[in-house]
Structure 1
């Protein structure tokens, strides 16, 4: 018996699939962001009376808009994970979010979303971490006590 056959194989980091799922999820999230921006745009037009400009960069209204867009994307992700374990972008890649001890709580899912955001803001460092991690987990997998698994093909 050879030593390679006796040792358990390391799980796949699923890095490319994760990134492709995020790319797929960009489209529904972008549509939700557009809807979320409508009240802010109307408020800006009402306050300034000018319909031919954008919301001022770094203004409190723009920061509030960004916070609202982050929250809307978070509601989309966490509600999708809670309801079926997948977002729309995760379905074609057969990815599924699971808690390490069963069904994840909303707190765990929001923690996953927040740490995933921080990871992206760090140039994706938390995602790249999966290439070196012993269990192939990202920062948000580890800190939220959730796991991303690949579902088997359904025949």
Structure 2
């Protein structure tokens, strides 16, 4: 078992790593497409960034070690319920379901029915969604996140 705090610290480190990947992807895309302003080619860039993030997580989770770079630092590993490494299909399922944390903020956004007036409002909604999702883990079996429960995967602590 892993503590919620260790998972959140790993998530914070993962955010820094993924942020760097997103910036590099955007730079390469901008150079290759001769992008002159941010709205030009926005959808293809967003799809490319999503694909790069998916490849990062699915690739690392489905290798024998089952660890991303941040998970190695925090000595965490993702395994199936029986303790075996994830297949590419199971890693893909976990990646897709791991986006469930956005659901409460997206629902609040849809119910509000108007776009947020500032980036801070959207950030607040997503931050509250993340806190809700992390709090939900305290109520679920073995304190695993909802996507791990649904995928029959779990995070384990790896001895140093």
- The reply on whether 1:40 has 2:29 as its aligned counterpart is yes
Query: How many pairs align?
Result: 132
Question: Contact 1:108/1:145 (CA < 8 Å) preserved in 2?
Answer: no
Q: Over alpha carbons, which structure has the higher Rg?
A: 1
- The reply on whether 1:131 has 2:125 as its aligned counterpart is no
- The reply on whether 1:114 has 2:96 as its aligned counterpart is yes
In 2, the alpha carbon distance for the partners of 1:21 and 1:120 equals 18
Shift of 1:131: 0.4
Moved over 2 A (4+): 124-128
In 2, the alpha carbon distance for the partners of 1:115 and 1:41 equals 30
TM-score, normalising length: structure 1 = 0.73
In 2, the alpha carbon distance for the partners of 1:40 and 1:121 equals 29
Question: Contact 1:44/1:55 (CA < 8 Å) preserved in 2?
Answer: no
Moved more, 15-24 or 35-44: 35-44
In structure 1, which of residues 74, 79, 82 is the aligned counterpart of residue 59 of structure 2?
79
TM-score, normalising length: structure 2 = 0.71
- The reply on whether 1:91 has 2:98 as its aligned counterpart is no
Aligned CA-pair RMSD: 2.1
**Unmatched runs of 5 consecutive residues or more in structure 2:** 105-128
Task: Name the structure where helix makes up a greater proportion of residues.
Answer: 2
Aligned to 1:63: 43
